[in-house]
Structure 1
């Protein structure tokens, strides 16, 4: 993922997508889901996932899973 981020940044700089300080501005696509499960009744699942993908390369820049359940009592 780190290499994909560097590649996105380099492509942004090559196309002139930089701010006034010269920092590269990359375009990303972000999506996430909190799944539903249904066994005769609709319940929300305890887990979800989100990811960020670079628009120019289509490579994954970030992915994370989150849980509502906390095992610490």
Structure 2
């Protein structure tokens, strides 16, 4: 888990109206992880970071950019 990872917010907390909202980690401060929510609902506090515990989020897998995929494919040939 690191700054910049995309996460799924698992708990209904901090004014976020729905479970499974997505966000991006902006800072890791001890036990708290600051997440910038990306939800589209007008009730969602999209402009503010929320403090979450690690068990309240799920880090989503990182997908390599297209250029990296092509380089890996060339190495295999």
Q: Same fold (TM over 0.5)?
A: no
TM-score range with shorter-chain normalisation?
Answer: under 0.3
1 or 2, which has the higher strand percentage?
A: 1
If the length of structure 2 is used for normalisation, what is the TM-score?
A: 0.27
Rg comparison, structure with higher value: 1
